[in-house]
Each structure stands twice: as C-alpha cells, then as structure tokens.
Amino acid sequence: MEDFRARKSRGERITALTAYDYPTARLLDESGIDIILVGDSLGMVVLGYTDTTQVTFEEMLHHTRAAARGVKRALLVGDLSIGTYDTPESAVEHARQLVAAGAQAVKLEGGASHVAQIEAVVRAGIPLMAHIGMLPQSVRAEGGYKVKGRSEAEARSLLADAEAVENAGAFAVVLEIVAAETARQITARIGIPTIGIGSGDGCDGQILVTHDLIGLYPWFTPKFVSPEVHVADEIRRAARIFAERTLSGIR
Ligand code: KIV
C-alpha cells in the first residue's frame, strides 16, 4: 500500500479497472493494470439489476472468488456491497469474508460519515480504499448520477471527506463524478492517491468499469467514457454468422 503513496509522490499515475470473472481478471492482470476492483457495478453490467443497491454480498463473494483465480500481480480489491458496513463491526466481518474470498483490500462508499468503519477495517489489518463524490449505493436517495463538488460548499465538504478518509487510514480514495477542479484540489491536498472516475485528468490515477471501456454494455455508456472497442458489436456479429451458418447447414 505504501507503494501507491510513493508512486503519487513520484508523480506516477495508477491504473485501475473492474473485473468480476476469471478471464477478465486474468487479462487485466496480464495487461499490467495496477488495481483490479471487483466492484458492485457487477450488479448492473453483469447481473442485469437497475442499480448497485440490489447486489447481495453472496454475489460479491462469488465473483471475488472467480476474479481472484485470475490475478497474480495486481492488487485485487473487493467492494463492500450495500448494507455490509453499517457499523464498524459489520464492516470488519464482511471485509474479512472478502479477504477469505481472495481480495487483498476492500472498498466502501463514504467519507467523514464512515471514519469509524474505515478505522476498524484498517485496524483489523485489511487495507481499505475509500470512495467519495457520487456514491452509486445512494443513487435512489440522490435521484440520479449527479456531478459532485461544483459549488464551493460541496467542494469544501468533499475536501473534508478526503482528509477524513486519509486520516482514518485509507490507502487510496476513489473520486466519482467530481468536478474536475475540485478533484484537482483534493489530489493536491492529500497524501494518498486519488483514483478518478469521471472526475477529470487531475487525479493520481483513473478507474473505469471495464464493460464501459470495451463497449460490452452498450445500452448505457456514461458521458465521460469513450469506449476503446465495441465488444458488444463483435458478439452480435459472431452470433449472427454462427446462426447463418447453422441455418444454411454450412459448418
Ligand atoms: O463498483 C464499481 O465498479 C465502482 C467503480 C466505478 C469505482 O465502485
């Protein structure tokens, strides 16, 4: 974990992507990605739920085990799904289960409001990545995926969150859909790396949902993502060719 801090101080960027299964985790690991997150975005891009509030912890464990089998080199982070870290005791108990499933670190959503949980998990010897800004587990309460940190008051509150999670012992913090200038200020202010998603290029690293990066969830692509490839189109093309060959009797 100290390596990530050192990399920030050397100005070296950190790369992070999500994986929920063995082949994807192995491919990302072989590609040199630093952090592989078994995110609860699993619920949307793999399990077909409308948001991450429907993901169960059993599903997180199942997919963490699968991804762990594919990772040799990267840091594998498991996401604490909604309802698993309402108290410090619950956070530690569920973090231990993610570690038993193969994660080397865990992530939870929340800033100053979750200092007790972060401290407890770190005290239990489990490295923790925090997540502030837009919090997908609160999307229903918030009424959508909205940019955070545009107003001065919101920027101040996010800065306080970032300092709180650093002081609580987090080794890095995800900044999700935070106004670029606010993300830049937070990055300059704290000693742990900021890993941005939709938060501009002033963060210490970047994370994306792999399905968005490779165009494997074409029904919704966040505004801040430009897919590098369009895997969904390739799957449809291959399936059509297979169907045509089968129907015409050509093997
Ligand atoms: O669940 C997830 O994939 C995440 C990333 C988007 C940061 O939390």
Residue 79 Cα: closest atom of ligand 1: 1
pLDDT band per the 50, 70, 90 thresholds, residue 250: confident
Which pLDDT does position 2 carry in this prediction?
A: 82
Closest protein CA for atom 1 of ligand 1 = 39
Q: Is pLDDT above 90 for 75?
A: yes
DSSP characters over 107-128: EEEBSGGGHHHHHHHHHTT--E
Q: Is the CB of 207 under 6 A from ligand 1?
A: yes
Could you give the CA distance from residue 167 to residue 119 in angstroms, rounded to a whole number?
9
Report, as residue numbers or ranges, the catalytic residues. Answer: 176
Q: Is pLDDT above 80 for 139?
A: yes
pTM of the model: 0.97
Which pLDDT does position 157 carry in this prediction?
A: 97
The structure tokens listed for 35 are: 């952090």
For residue 35, the SS3 value is: strand
Which pLDDT does position 166 carry in this prediction?
A: 98
pLDDT band per the 50, 70, 90 thresholds, residue 89: very high
Give the distance, in angstroms, between the CA of residue 57 and the centroid of all CA atoms in the same chain. Answer: 16
Residues 6 or more apart whose Cβ sits within 8 Å of residue 99: 78, 106, 126
Q: Is pLDDT above 80 for 154?
A: yes
Average pLDDT on 90-107 reads 98
CB atoms within 10 A of CB 73: 11
Q: Is the CB of 79 under 6 A from ligand 1?
A: yes
Average pLDDT on 98-103 reads 98
Q: Is pLDDT above 80 for 180?
A: yes
> Exposed, middle or buried by CB within 10 Å (0-12, 13-18, 19+), for 224?
middle
Q: Is pLDDT above 80 for 251?
A: no
Which pLDDT does position 141 carry in this prediction?
A: 87
| % of the chain residues with pLDDT over 70 | 100
Average pLDDT on 51-70 reads 97
Average pLDDT on 62-87 reads 98
11-15, 124-128, 139-143, 195-199: segment of lowest average pLDDT: 139-143
Which pLDDT does position 173 carry in this prediction?
A: 98
User: Given ligand 1 and candidates 174, 210, 211, which is best to mutate, with the most ligand atoms within 8 Å of its CB?
Assistant: 174
Q: What architecture is the 2-213 domain classified under in CATH?
A: Alpha-Beta Barrel (3.20)
Any idea where the domains of the chain sit in the sequence? 2-213
Q: 109 has which bridge partners?
A: 131
Closest protein CA for atom 4 of ligand 1 = 39
Average pLDDT on 178-203 reads 98
Q: Is the CB of 34 under 6 A from ligand 1?
A: no
Which pLDDT does position 49 carry in this prediction?
A: 97
Report the separation in Å between the CA atom of 82 and the middle of ligand 1, taken as the mean of its atom positions.
13
Q: Is pLDDT above 90 for 241?
A: yes
Residue 176 Cα: closest atom of ligand 1: 7
User: Given ligand 1 and candidates 139, 145, 209, 216, which is best to mutate, with the most ligand atoms within 8 Å of its CB?
Assistant: 209
Q: Is the CB of 18 under 6 A from ligand 1?
A: yes
